[in-house]
Structure 1
């Protein structure tokens, strides 16, 4: 690829710009990546569940390890084969789609085992409902990804903070704002186009809106 082509791709948003904002976008994407958001949500939900023994936080720790570690480890190892986001988007998109589907399958398997553990051991129902919420979101997102690439980072952050916002109304506006910033960050590092980031945010908000309409979703 020529130098001129590379410059044009960077200006079109296909490749990331290098600089302070690019670094901030990378850090933001990592600190609020889907596995991290899931772990934080488990800690919040487990911490306020007031479960007798073991505590809700202890349950959250077990589930975070069993359900969060496997997909996070696979995603890290899959990404380690090609850490560059400075390649032409067609090649990048093919690699990401294949890896995303496999990561989703690993996550769904871990979540199914987690749900069976909580239900079988009569653990905190709010945690079980959050695992169901996560599994449903991942399954739908994986199906959508086969047709059109969306920003899972943006969708996950928007849906999880939206769920917490439905329980604690003060989270709603900050949640949407943080998800919108994530969309910008994913575009900035060259992982997504603005359209893909917008689709991710819309998917996250649509999924949480559908889930909270279910009876007894609060557990």
Structure 2
């Protein structure tokens, strides 16, 4: 009984129009969240980017442990401590520590993957994530860019590199997610486009630098 009033109050607090469209947009944002998208990117590389699928899947799990788990724990702890206004970290200034922690974590992970001679596509993916995160952090100092869209753009681009039909599907999902982020008033259309563009360019440039394109 309280879920509907709570959703209405949340929509109004964001300056969004309450209703089914808002509820649907929130669900889409939760499904296409940066955390599961990061895992999907790793699985795509593990399946399509490594000849030995079993080996690729194991490296995908190991890289996920390095790349995803520490930032997720950090976020949950800080959210429970009241450091963020909401689970979207809507206030731009509150995102800075998340960017910093994430970038440091990615660089440490990249170092470990290099030391362990991980397959090149996994190292390229982590390097691309570090590059995109660093640029997004610099942008965030003055303007809020969509992290959801950046994650979606990265995943869709990686899919397009290794299996075009899946890439087309995920780029379709990117359009849906873009609508959702604007519908909930988390971002403007320009912030969504900026996130998609930055991630796409970052992945392509990094993969070319690694000789994978």
Matches within 5 A, 1:69-218: 69-80=69-80, 81=82, 82-83=85-86, 96-214=91-209, 216-217=211-212
Listed as ranges, the gaps of 5+ residues in structure 2 are 1-10
Distance 2:102 2:87 in 1: 24
Distance 2:77 2:210 in 1: 39
Shift of 1:27: 1.5
The superposition leaves residues 174-196 of structure 1 with CA deviations (integer Å, 9 ceiling, x where unpaired) of: 33322122111111222112232
79 and 192 in structure 1: CA distance in 2 versus 1, 3 angstrom threshold: farther
Shift of 1:43: 1.6
Shift of 1:212: 4.5
Name the count of aligned residue pairs: 201
Q: Report the aligned-residue RMSD.
A: 2.9
Q: Which residue of 2 aligns with 1:39?
A: 39
Distance 1:210 1:125 in 2: 15
Distance 1:171 1:84 in 2: 29
When the two structures are superposed, what TM-score results if normalisation uses the length of structure 1? Answer: 0.78
Shift of 1:164: 2.1
Q: Which residue of 2 aligns with 1:6?
A: none
Listed as ranges, the gaps of 5+ residues in structure 1 are 1-8, 86-91
Shift of 1:156: 1.7
Shift of 1:137: 0.9
When the two structures are superposed, what TM-score results if normalisation uses the length of structure 2? Answer: 0.80
